[in-house]
Amino acid sequence: MRLILATIVLAAIGYGTYWHISARGLEQEIAATLDRNPDISVADYDLGGFPHRFDLTLDAPRLRLPERGLEWHGPVLNIHALSYQPHHVIAVFPPEQMLWLNGQEWTLRSPDARASVVMDRNRSGILDRANLVFDTPEFTRLSELHKADSLRASVTRSNDTADYDVALELSGYRPDEGVMSALDPNRSLPPMLARSRALATLRFDSPLQPGMAAPDLIDITITEMDIIWGDIAVQASGRLQPDVAGTLSGQLDLRITRWDQVLDLLVAAEVMAPDAAQMAQMLLTSLSDRDSGQLDLPLRVRQSVMSFGPVALGMLPRL
């Protein structure tokens, strides 16, 4: 009996020593990450969870990507990992977050927003896969209110390479009513998109390492993009290469049902000039299937401008 008790005590002491040594190393890594990344900041942080977990609380975290016109911050961010499985991290976001995107301020609200990040067990610091889920998110900007049933995203490393498969799905998206009135004054479209999802492969020059400088993005292969909104259906695939400024070049292959409605939406959204839409209307009428209203369209992309022949159809966002 004494031997058993002694063994239990020694195991508990050993495990406690392991936790404290690991926690000290984690705190040093947090400090080093903040020191080498001036665009990441926190007001304070606290590490707890002894003995079974590591629970990290970040107060007022802020992430800036000025070269991309992006900034995010929230009041708190909670990060959790089991002490015997530190390579698998769960992040729980606050119910309200702020996002600045290209000079526009957005507020994102969700009662349940979390992410899961799994690092490669065999190669320290290499991202293996990650998932993001926002339940019933709301996006607000000025007087606009956009809603959805869920927002889901995933990133998975492909076959021990620097290629990552990315999936993005926005379910039950309902645009702001004022935006809907501007885009579709005749109310020919339903208030909710039936489907909005995309699948792509991103190739980098080296694997992703969270907390380190991002590797260069070499190209983007879009395997599937699918948007269905009323009678409008848009499918896309293609390959794009970014330059150092984040503008894109390459080719996109589109299949569009009710493309005439899409032109009206692009003009209403000020993505496409009215005179360009009129020229596109005349050109595309002869190319589409008159019975189905379907149009197959190979687009050239140069410096983020999408063109069909001499007609510019709109711009892709800068990365």
Q: Beta strands 150-157 and 163-171: pairing type?
A: antiparallel
Position with higher pLDDT, 209 vs 134: 134
Mean pLDDT of 36-55: 84
pLDDT at 137: 97
pLDDT at 22: 61
Instruction: Say how far apart CA 230 and CA 258 lie, in whole Å.
Output: 10
pLDDT in tens, 61-93: 999 988 777 899 999 999 998 877 888 999 999
Mean pLDDT of 47-54: 79
Instruction: Say how far apart CA 234 and CA 185 lie, in whole Å.
Output: 21
Mean pLDDT of 259-275: 83
Mean pLDDT of 98-124: 90
User: Cα–Cα distances in Å, from 165 out to 15, 93, 168, 199, 212?
Assistant: 38, 24, 10, 7, 20
pLDDT over threshold 60, residue 18: no
pLDDT in tens, 217-229: 999 999 999 999 9
Instruction: Say how far apart CA 135 and CA 116 lie, in whole Å.
Output: 15
pLDDT in tens, 133-187: 999 999 999 999 999 999 999 999 998 889 999 999 999 999 999 988 888 888 8
Most confident range (mean pLDDT) of 20-24, 222-226, 292-296 is 222-226
**Lowest-pLDDT range, 15-24, 37-46, 112-121, 155-164?**
15-24
pLDDT at 228: 93
**Lowest-pLDDT range, 122-136, 157-171, 191-205, 266-280?**
266-280
- Predicted confidence band at 205 (pLDDT cuts at 50, 70, 90)? very high
Output the pTM of the full model.
0.84
pLDDT over threshold 90, residue 276: no
pLDDT at 181: 87
* Residue percentage of the chain with pLDDT more than 90: 44
pLDDT at 27: 74
pLDDT at 3: 37
pLDDT at 21: 57
pLDDT at 291: 74
pLDDT over threshold 80, residue 235: yes
Mean pLDDT of the residues in the chain? 85
pLDDT over threshold 70, residue 14: no
pLDDT at 249: 94
pLDDT at 11: 37
Most confident range (mean pLDDT) of 2-11, 25-34, 72-81 is 72-81
